[in-house]
Structures are given as C-alpha cells and as structure tokens.
Amino acid sequence: MVATRSAAPVVIGVDSSTQSTKALVVDAETGAVRALGRAPHTVTGEDGARESDPEQWWSALREAVAAALGEAGVSASVVTGIAVAGQQHGLVVLDAARRPLRAALLWNDTRSAPEAADLTAALGGQDGWLARTGSVPVASMTAAKWQWLRAHEPAVAASVAAVRLPHDFLTERLSGAAVTDPGDASGTCWYDTATDAYDPGILRHLGLDQALLPTVAASGATRVGTLTPAAARALGLPPGVAVAAGTGDNMAAAVGLGLGGAGLLDHPVVSLGTSGTVFAATRTRPAAPGLAGFAAADGTYLPLGCTLNCGLAVDRFAGLLGLDREDAARGDGVVVLPYLDGERTPDLPHATGLVTGLRHTTTPQNVLGAAYEGAAFTVLRALDDLLGACGLDPTAPAVRDRPLRLIGGGAQGAVWRETVRRLSGRPVTVPAATELVALGAAALAASAATGEDPVALATAWGTGHGETLAPVARDEETWHRISGTLERAAPSLLA
C-alpha cells in the first residue's frame, strides 16, 4: 500500500490534448502540483485527414490519472473534484450506448474546408455568422466537420445518437451527464455567444437535432454531478468525487492564468503548442473575420486567433534538416511559410509549405530559424488582428509596452522565446507553471467541489506568475520580408 503524504484535499485537472493526456494532482488549497501523469494519443490520417479514437482518450485519461495518483502518494479518499479540458472543435459521434461510431474528426482535419465555405455562403456570409456565433466557419469548426460527415459518410451520420466535443465525451464518461460549457460550445459554430444558446436556424440547416447535443452548463466550473460507480472503479476513486462541466483547452489555460473579464487583459496570451493561439479575456463581444469569437469558461468572452502550424511544423523542419530544435540561427534572408497542414489563420486550408530566399551561403540552421520566424510571424499577426478587434491599435506604444504572456511547450524553448521577442518587440512574461491547461482544469474541479470562483482560485494559487523578459528592438526587416512573401504567395496557396 502506498503511504499517504498528506490528508489535505486534492483535485485532478485533466488536459486531453491532440497528442496526449496529462493529469495533474493539485493541492486544492494552495494550487501546489503534487504530481503529473501522462499518456500518449495516436493521430492518424493523411491528405488533410486527422483522426483519433475517442476510446483511446478514455484509456489515456485512466492511465494518466493512475500515474499521477501513484506518484503523488495520496489516498484516493482526499480527492474532492475532477475536471477535463479538451482539444477544441473535434467531432465525436456516438451510438445509443454512447460508444463511438467512428474515429473523431480532430480540429486540424482540413477535409471540411469546402463545407465551411458552403456554410459561410449559405447563411449570410461572414457578417451573418459573426452576428450569430461570433465566428466564421473554417475547416476547424465542428459544424463544418458535421457537414463533411453528412456528405461523405451519410450512413454514419444517419445513425448518430449523440454528438459530442472531445471534453464532453470524457465528462460524460466520468459523470454520466451529457453536458458541455459555453467556452467549448462556442467553438462549434452552432452555438450563439450573444444568446448563450444553440442557434436553432443553424441546427436546422445542418439537419442536426438539438436533442443529440449536450446541455450547456452555466460555466465550466459548474458541478454536473459526481463520478459514476463505473468511472470511480475505473479510476480507483470514490463515487462522491465532484465532476465539473470542464471546458476547451484554451479556455482552461485562461482560467489557469487567472484571467477574468474585467476588460482587455494587460497581458495578451500567446500559446505555442502543436498549433499557435493568441487570446485575450474581455467583457465585450468582438466579432471579426479571421477571429474566433469564443466564450470564456467563466461566462465572459475569449476572442482567439489560431494557427494550425506552430511547434509541430517547426519540429518537422528540424527533423528534415537533421537538427535539434534548438540548433537554429536567424533566417538571414530565407523565408519559410510552414503551412504543412494547410492553414487556418490566414484561411489557406489547401496551402503547403513554402521555402524561398535560399543562397549558397544558406545553412540548415538558417532554414530552421526561418521556420521559427514564419510560425511566429503568423501567430503574432493574428495577435495584431485580435487587438484591433478589441478596439486597440497594436502599433500604439501603450499597447506594445504590455507584456505578452507566453505559454505552451514552445514557451520553454530559448529559440521560441527569442524569436517572439524579436518579431514582436514586446516584453514577454513566461509563467513558471508549465501545465496551465491542466491547472485551469484543476481550478474548475476545485470550484465544482467548493463553490468558489475558479478564476479567483487560480489567481490565489499564483499560477500565472513568472519571469518577464525585457523587450528587444523589433526586427522590422524580417517582419516585412515574411509579410511580403505571404502577400505574393497567397493566390497560389489558395489553389
């Protein structure tokens, strides 16, 4: 029997991402991380397809929780809450027994780009969608994936008894409750962030019965029940453990940073992971093309820009060049548009990677550095668009002087940090906590167990604090070189 280190209550925050599941055991009072468990996922597909078996997510959750509890050395009796934050947009279709009918279509599956364009045209164009959902359909959005399924696998679509997002699927396995939250629901393009409800007109156009969808809880912190007996046995936990509604990964990261909705935050967030994301917490509801007008987990708004090609694309270049990811130099005239999976921002779903500016003197390190620059440029340009949509001039000194919060796996890499500093010209704060999605989920779990506000909990835990790096002079030459290359190449990338 494992000795118990402490009888203090703990909660479990789960980050079910594209590549893996991570489970944190967190002290419910202090936010101290007791242990981390991890289990990998498998992603399959080619020619734009990206799929995963949802049953593997459940197996990975069980494995990660078991590993974390074993490392923490705590008794299962002191666990008071659990919450799941999941990769956004994925389409999970289930039968009447709540078993997957097929592999889930993931957020970075670009096969549904034609369906996204058709949806945009059919229901009022960009302006119509922005007014209704706050977002314009792109291939990533769940509504486009549902239309793809109807068009390409009609027999499967006709037999669907339940439609879920990835985190909904896992929350239902834990609690038995068919519940989602406003944050993750806002990434479907069938949820209206102005009315906080599913849009009946969009559902009719999609041929999607609302009865197939989960109920939308008031927030991701809402207690939706407790562990079912089956889930408790599977996890080795008591059935009375509180289960929160949970949320999407970006919304959970915002909670983990202690971001509320008092206004545009002083530290906009740049997340460098498989994808690149930028987001800001606000009480206003911005609506702009190219920007996802998401809801936040706490009932405010989380406008977000997302790029498909970030850490994974840069790592692919490192592999092709036979280099370590940190073995990079400045591009030195080389431009890389690393759109290996197509791209979401800008909306170029059929694009491929582009390398230009090679000379005899170009080194492999220059090419890798240019891949970093191209990925960082794409993310930072999305940030400028986001700030503009929130009513701020991104070039104004008062805005540029605000530090960026840099999170995600890339935030731990020296080349990523320096590339973002150089291309943004802004100070950069790197939080000491590295698992902000899982920490945000832990705050939601603690809220479900205690009734306290999750953002206030995370703020008290101090999980958003970290080192601030001073700004460096903005590399205008590289910025304009990449911008000009993208402008010239965009027509051919649309093909």
**Among the ranges given (5-14, 73-82, 215-224), the one the predictor scored with the smallest mean pLDDT:** 5-14
* Main-chain dihedrals φ then ψ at residue 362, nearest 5 degrees: -65, 135
Decide if 424 is inside a domain.
no
Which pLDDT score, from 0 to 100, does residue 4 have?
A: 45
Decide if 196 is inside a domain.
yes
| Mean pLDDT value of segment 321-338 | 98
Q: What's the half-sphere exposure (Cβ side, CA atoms, 13 Å) at 47?
A: 0
Which pLDDT score, from 0 to 100, does residue 261 have?
A: 52
Any catalytic annotation for residue 249?
yes
Which pLDDT score, from 0 to 100, does residue 33 have?
A: 96
Which pLDDT score, from 0 to 100, does residue 22 have?
A: 97
Q: What whole-number percentage of the chain has pLDDT above 90?
A: 81
**H helices present in 236-321, as ranges:** 249-256, 311-321
pLDDT band at 320 (very low <50, low <70, confident <90, very high): very high
pLDDT band at 1 (very low <50, low <70, confident <90, very high): very low
pLDDT band at 79 (very low <50, low <70, confident <90, very high): very high
Q: How many CB atoms lie within 10 A of CB 158?
A: 9
Which pLDDT score, from 0 to 100, does residue 42 have?
A: 95
Report yes or no: 337 and 353 within 8 Å, Cβ to Cβ: yes
| Mean pLDDT value of segment 40-53 | 94
Which pLDDT score, from 0 to 100, does residue 286 have?
A: 79
Distance separating alpha carbons of residues 268 and 402, to the nearest angstrom: 8
| Mean pLDDT value of segment 429-434 | 92
Decide if 161 is inside a domain.
yes
* 264 pLDDT above the threshold of 60: no
Give 3-state DSSP helix, strand, coil % of the chain, rounded to 5. 40, 20, 40
* 419 pLDDT above the threshold of 80: yes
Per-residue three-class SS string for 365-378: HHHHHHHHHHHHHH
Which pLDDT score, from 0 to 100, does residue 6 have?
A: 54
Q: Which amino acid is at 443?
A: A
What mean pLDDT is reported for the chain?
Answer: 93
Distance separating alpha carbons of residues 161 and 147, to the nearest angstrom: 16
| Mean pLDDT value of segment 132-139 | 92
Distance separating alpha carbons of residues 267 and 281, to the nearest angstrom: 10
Distance separating alpha carbons of residues 133 and 264, to the nearest angstrom: 20
Q: Which of 249, 298, 347, 475 is catalytic?
A: 249
Domain count, the chain: 1
* 196: CATH: 3.30.420.40
Decide if 315 is inside a domain.
no
* 207 pLDDT above the threshold of 90: yes
Domain that includes residue 84, residue range: 10-250
Report yes or no: 416 and 408 within 8 Å, Cβ to Cβ: no
* 345 pLDDT above the threshold of 80: yes
407 vs 266, residue with greater confidence:
407
| Mean pLDDT value of segment 374-390 | 93
- Tokens representing 202 are 């969009």
235 vs 259, residue with greater confidence:
235
Decide if 476 is inside a domain.
no
Give the C-alpha distances (Å, rounded to integers) separating 188 from 117, 143, 295, 407, 433: 15, 6, 11, 24, 29
Distance separating alpha carbons of residues 304 and 253, to the nearest angstrom: 12
Q: Cβ-count burial of 319 within 10 angstroms (0-12 exposed, 13-18 middle, 19+ buried)? A: exposed
Distance separating alpha carbons of residues 43 and 19, to the nearest angstrom: 7
* 377 pLDDT above the threshold of 80: yes
Which pLDDT score, from 0 to 100, does residue 328 have?
A: 98
Which pLDDT score, from 0 to 100, does residue 3 have?
A: 41
Q: Cβ-count burial of 228 within 10 angstroms (0-12 exposed, 13-18 middle, 19+ buried)? A: middle
Report yes or no: 359 and 337 within 8 Å, Cβ to Cβ: no
Decide if 310 is inside a domain.
no
3-class SS of residue 357: coil
Decide if 305 is inside a domain.
no
Which residues face 25 on adjacent strands?
Answer: 12, 35
* 484 pLDDT above the threshold of 90: yes
261 vs 12, residue with greater confidence:
12
* 495 pLDDT above the threshold of 80: no
Distance separating alpha carbons of residues 69 and 85, to the nearest angstrom: 18
Decide if 58 is inside a domain.
yes
Give the C-alpha distances (Å, rounded to integers) separating 69 from 74, 84, 446: 6, 16, 17
